[in-house]
Amino acid sequence: MKKIKIIVDIERMKYPFTGLHNYCENLYKSLLNSNSNLFEFHFFSHSSVQLPKGINRMNRKLTEKLFLIKPKKYKLWHVTYQDSKFVPSGNIKIVYTIHDLNFLYTDKSEAKKIKMLYNVQEIIKKADYITVISNFVLNDIKKNLNLYNKPVTVIHNGVTVSEYPDFDNPKYRPIKKYIFTLGTVLYKKHFHVLPQMVAGTEYELIIAGILPDKDYVQTIESEIKKNNVSAQVTLTGPISDEEKYWYMKHCSAFVFPSISEGFGIPPIEAMVMGKPVFLSTYTSLPEVGGKLAYYFNSFDKKDMQKVFIDGMKDYADNDRKNEIIKWGKQFNWDKASKQYLDVYKQTLGIKPNSSQEELPLKPNDKNSNITALVITYNEENNIESVIENISFADEIIIVDSFSNDNTVEIIKSYPKVKLIQNKFKNFSEQRNFALAQTTNDWVLFIDADERISDNFINELRSISKSNSNVIAFKSNRKNYINNKIVNYSGWQNDTIYRFFNKKYVSYDEKKWVHETLIINGETKLMENSITHYSYKDFSDLKNRTLFYSKLKAKELYEKGEKSNPFKLYVKPFYTFIKHYFISLGIFDGKLGLQISYTSCIGVYKRYCELQKLYKTESI
Separation of CA 67 from chain center = 20
Q: What is the per-residue pLDDT across 170-184, written as a single tens digit (0 to 9) for each?
A: 999 999 999 999 999
Q: C-alpha angle 279/284/289, rounded to 5°?
A: 45
pTM for this model (two decimals): 0.56
The CATH superfamily holding the domain 370-535 is Spore Coat Polysaccharide Biosynthesis Protein SpsA; Chain A (3.90.550.10)
Residue 607, CB-side half-sphere exposure with 13 Å CA sphere: 17
One-letter amino acid of 231: A
- Dihedral sign (CA 303, 304, 308, 309): negative
Task: Flag residues of the chain having pLDDT under 70.
Answer: 1, 62-71, 351-368, 617-619
How distant, in Å, are the alpha carbons of 453, 464, 495, 532 from that of 529? 8, 17, 9, 10
User: Quick check: do 178-328 and 370-535 share a fold?
Assistant: no
Q: From CA 314, how far away is CA 322, in angstroms rounded?
A: 14
| Phi, psi at 376, each rounded to 5° | -135, 155
pLDDT on residue 367: 46
88: DSSP letter: -
- Interhelix angle 265-272/321-329, rounded to 10 degrees, is 130
pLDDT on residue 155: 95
Strands 470-481 and 530-535 turn out to be parallel
pLDDT on residue 361: 41
The H-or-E segment that residue 309 falls in is helix 301-317
Q: Domain 178-328 falls in which CATH fold?
A: Rossmann fold (3.40.50)
Residues in the chain: 619
Assigned architecture for domain 4-154: 3-Layer(aba) Sandwich (3.40)
Evaluate whether 437 touches 502 at the Cβ level (below 8 Å). Answer: no
Evaluate whether 332 touches 405 at the Cβ level (below 8 Å). Answer: no
What residue spans define the domains of the chain? 4-154, 178-328, 370-535, 538-618
Q: In terms of Cα–Cα distance, which of 176, 173, 235, 202 is closest to 308?
A: 202
For 88-115, give one letter per residue: b (16+ CB within 10 A) or e: beeebbbbbbbbbbbbeeeeeeeeebee
Q: From CA 107, how far away is CA 285, in angstroms rounded?
A: 21
Evaluate whether 330 touches 75 at the Cβ level (below 8 Å). Answer: no
Residue 478, CB-side half-sphere exposure with 13 Å CA sphere: 10
Residue 201, CB-side half-sphere exposure with 13 Å CA sphere: 22
